[in-house]
Structure 1
Amino acid sequence: MTTAARIDESLRIILKHQAASGAYIASPHFRPYQYAWLRDGTFTAYAMNRAGQHDSARRFYRWCDSVIRKYADKARAAIAAVQAGRSTGGNEQFLHTRYTVDGDEVAGEWGSFQLDGYGTWLWGLAEHVRLSSDYGLVQELRPSIDLTLDYLRTCWQLSNYDCWEEVGDRQHPATMAAIFGGVTAIAGHVPQRAAELTFLGSSIRRFVIESGTADGKFVKSLGNPAVDASLLWIAVPFGLVGADDPLMARTVAAIERELLAGRGVHRYATDTYYGGGQWPLLSAWLGWYHVRTGRRAEAEDIFRWIEEQWLPAGLPEQVQEHLLAPDAYGYWVAKEGTPAVPLLWSHAMYVVLAAELGLLAPARSEGQHKD
Structure 2
Amino acid sequence: MTLPITQTGTVRQRSLDLLRDNQHSSGAFPAALGYSVYKYCWFRDGSFIADALSRVGERDRSTRFHMWCVRVVGQQTDRVEDLVRRAKAGEQIPGTQMLPTRYQLDGSEGNEDWWDYQLDGYGTWMWVLAQHIKRHDLDSSPFLPAIETIANYLGTFGDQPCFDWWEESEEERHLSTVTAVIAGLEAAASVLDSPTANLATAASARLRELVNTASNATSYLPKQVGSIAVDGSLISAAVPFEVIDPGSERAEATYKQIVSDLLAEGVYRYRGDTFYGGGEWIILTAWLGLYEAATGRLNEAVSRRDWIVAQAKPNGDLPEQVAGNAQAPDRIEEWEQRWGPVATPLLWSHAMFLTLDDALQKCEVWP
What TM-score, normalized by structure 1, do the two folds share? 0.92
Partner of 1:206: 209
Contact conserved, 2:22 with 2:30, CA < 8 A, in 1?
yes
Could you tell me which amino acid in structure 1 is paired with residue 93 of structure 2? T
Moved more, 2-11 or 333-342: 2-11
- The separation in 2 between residues aligned to 1:207 and 1:215, in whole angstroms, is 14
What do the CA deviations read for 1:118-158 (whole angstroms, capped 9, x no partner)? Answer: 11110011111122112x2x211211110111001100111
Contact conserved, 2:33 with 2:345, CA < 8 A, in 1?
yes
Partner of 1:254: 257
Partner of 2:281: 279
- 1:199 CA displacement: 3.2
| 1:214 alignment partner, SS class | coil
Matching of residues 291-330 of structure 1 within 5 Å:
291-311=293-313, 312=315, 314-330=317-333
Of the three residues 134, 144, 147, the one matched with 1:145 is 147
Could you tell me which amino acid in structure 2 is paired with residue 108 of structure 1? E
The total of aligned residue pairs comes to 356
| 2:280 alignment partner, SS class | coil
- Give ranges in structure 1 of 5+ residues lacking alignment: 361-371
- The separation in 1 between residues aligned to 2:131 and 2:31, in whole angstroms, is 21
Of the three residues 70, 73, 98, the one matched with 1:94 is 98
- 1:334 CA displacement: 0.8
Contact conserved, 1:303 with 1:350, CA < 8 A, in 2?
yes
- 1:57 CA displacement: 0.5
Moved more, 237-246 or 281-290: 237-246
| 1:56 alignment partner, SS class | helix
- The separation in 1 between residues aligned to 2:94 and 2:127, in whole angstroms, is 28
Contact conserved, 2:152 with 2:200, CA < 8 A, in 1?
no
Could you tell me which amino acid in structure 2 is paired with residue 289 of structure 1? Y
Partner of 2:87: 82
What do the CA deviations read for 1:203-234 (whole angstroms, capped 9, x no partner)? Answer: 22122111345322211111332100111111
| 2:186 alignment partner, SS class | helix
- 1:81 CA displacement: 2.0
- The separation in 2 between residues aligned to 1:241 and 1:130, in whole angstroms, is 21
What do the CA deviations read for 1:68-108 (whole angstroms, capped 9, x no partner)? Answer: 111222222221222222233222x1000001001111223
- The separation in 1 between residues aligned to 2:110 and 2:279, in whole angstroms, is 27
| 1:284 alignment partner, SS class | helix
- The separation in 2 between residues aligned to 1:83 and 1:208, in whole angstroms, is 24
| 1:10 alignment partner, SS class | helix
- The separation in 1 between residues aligned to 2:86 and 2:355, in whole angstroms, is 39
Partner of 1:58: 63
Partner of 2:163: 161
Partner of 1:130: 134
Could you tell me which amino acid in structure 2 is paired with residue 76 of structure 1? E
Moved more, 11-20 or 212-221: 212-221
Matched, 1:336 2:339: yes
- 1:313 CA displacement: 6.0
Partner of 2:3: none
Matched, 1:349 2:352: yes
- 1:15 CA displacement: 1.2
- 1:245 CA displacement: 1.9
Quickly say closer, same or farther: Cα 1:34–1:213, change in 2 above 3 A: farther
Partner of 1:191: 193
Contact conserved, 2:214 with 2:222, CA < 8 A, in 1?
no
- The separation in 2 between residues aligned to 1:178 and 1:325, in whole angstroms, is 29
Matched, 1:46 2:48: no
What TM-score, normalized by structure 2, do the two folds share? 0.93
What do the CA deviations read for 1:174-208 (whole angstroms, capped 9, x no partner)? Answer: 11111111121232222345554333322221221
Could you tell me which amino acid in structure 2 is paired with residue 117 of structure 1? G
Contact conserved, 1:274 with 1:329, CA < 8 A, in 2?
yes
- The separation in 2 between residues aligned to 1:2 and 1:286, in whole angstroms, is 20
Percent of pairs with identical residues: 37
Partner of 1:244: 247
- 1:244 CA displacement: 1.6
